[in-house]
Homo-oligomer: A and B are copies of this chain.
Amino acid sequence: MIHVEIIGFAAGTLTTVALLPQVIKAWKTKLTRDVSLLWAVALTIGVFLWLVYGVFIKSLPIIIANVFTFILAVIVLVLKMKYK
Known interface pairs A34-B32, A52-B7. Does A42 touch B57 (Cβ–Cβ under 8 Å)?
A: no
**Count of A residues near B, CB < 8 Å?**
42
Interface residues of A (CB under 8 A from B): 4, 7-8, 10-19, 21-22, 24-26, 29, 31-39, 41-43, 45-47, 49-50, 52-53, 56-57, 59, 61
Can you tell how many copies of this chain the complex includes?
2
Contacts of A35 in B (CB 8 A): 22, 34-35
CA distance A59 to B22 in the complex (A): 29
Interface centre among A14, A26, A43 (most CB of B within 10 A): A14
Contacts of A16 in B (CB 8 A): 46
